[in-house]
């Protein structure tokens, strides 16, 4: 089952990467930008929204990962940790690996944010993974906007699906994480930091990495037994 899910996720990821997203990205992003005032729908400096969807979420995520690590290191012999050990390990590795991989890609793809492109009064042309900057474009330094980095922590929590044992709890975890992650992604779109394709690629990449982590841990567990 995991192998099939990995294959399906790979196909979806490649489809999004290969598909020409320019029209969709721009058409959707236009709704979030006021061309007359040259302002985004939400001000990036709005402290309350920034606290909820950026700084606050980030701190809660770090605390969550810290508590999972503490549980596995210092409470590994307790009954509940023993029962959920494999799931907790999947969650911990996912929460570490997914943001690291996404961050590494952001540092190398050199793709601008919506707020950076000419269409929204920025200085960069719109480019995708498989398109290049115009030859006459002079770039001062690499820009880091693709894929969506902030949402990667939220999507890494999709690993909670493999922590819970009951189907009902798995569904609750899935729905809750998707609402949380898409809310973060939407906020970043509303302030001009990301296109919809950036968030979708992060979502699929996170799920792919989680599936690979789960596959590796399961194989290791079966070999030991």
Percentage of the chain modeled with pLDDT above 70: 96
Q: What pLDDT, in 10s, does the model give residues 78-103?
A: 999 999 999 999 999 999 999 999 99
The predicted pLDDT at position 163 comes to 95
The predicted pLDDT at position 204 comes to 93
The predicted pLDDT at position 222 comes to 59
In a domain, 182, yes or no: yes
∠83-85-88 over CA atoms, to 5°? 125
In a domain, 135, yes or no: no
Q: What pLDDT, in 10s, does the model give residues 102-157?
A: 999 999 999 999 999 999 999 999 988 888 898 888 887 789 999 999 999 999 99
The predicted pLDDT at position 221 comes to 61
In a domain, 26, yes or no: yes
The predicted pLDDT at position 21 comes to 72
> Quick one: which of 182, 221, 212 has its CA closest to 5?
212
Q: What pLDDT, in 10s, does the model give residues 146-170?
A: 999 999 999 999 999 999 999 999 9
The predicted pLDDT at position 27 comes to 92
In a domain, 98, yes or no: yes
In a domain, 31, yes or no: yes
The predicted pLDDT at position 224 comes to 64
Number of residues assigned to the chain: 225
Please tell me the distance from the alpha carbon of residue 156 to that of residue 147, in angstroms, as a whole number. Answer: 14
What is the number of structural domains in the chain? Answer: 1
Q: Where are the alpha helices (DSSP H) in the chain?
A: 2-18, 22-29, 47-50, 56-74, 79-83, 85-109, 150-156, 167-190, 196-224
Domain range for residue 218? Answer: 2-129+142-224
């Amino acid at each position: 089952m995991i192998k099939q899910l990995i294959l399906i996720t790979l196909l979806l990821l490649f489809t999004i990467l290969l598909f020409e997203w320019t029209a969709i990205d721009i058409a959707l992003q236009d709704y979030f930008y006021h061309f007359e005032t040259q302002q985004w729908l939400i001000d990036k400096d709005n402290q309350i929204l920034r606290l909820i969807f950026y700084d606050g979420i980030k701190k809660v995520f770090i605390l969550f990962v810290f508590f999972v690590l503490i549980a596995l290191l210092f409470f590994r012999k307790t009954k509940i940790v023993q029962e959920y050990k494999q799931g907790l390990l999947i969650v911990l590795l996912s929460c570490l690996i997914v943001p690291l991989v996404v961050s590494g890609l952001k540092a190398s793809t050199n793709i601008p944010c919506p707020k950076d492109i000419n269409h929204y009064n920025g200085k960069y042309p719109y480019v995708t993974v498989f398109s290049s900057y115009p030859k006459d474009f002079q770039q001062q330094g690499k820009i880091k906007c693709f894929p969506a980095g902030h949402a990667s922590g939220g999507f890494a929590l999709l690993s909670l699906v493999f922590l819970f044992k009951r189907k009902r709890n798995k569904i609750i975890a899935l729905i809750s994480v998707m609402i949380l992650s898409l809310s973060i992604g939407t906020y970043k779109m509303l302030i001009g930091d990301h296109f919809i394709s950036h968030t979708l690629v992060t979502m699929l990449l996170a799920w792919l990495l989680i599936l690979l982590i789960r596959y590796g841990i399961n194989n290791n567990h079966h070999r030991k037994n």
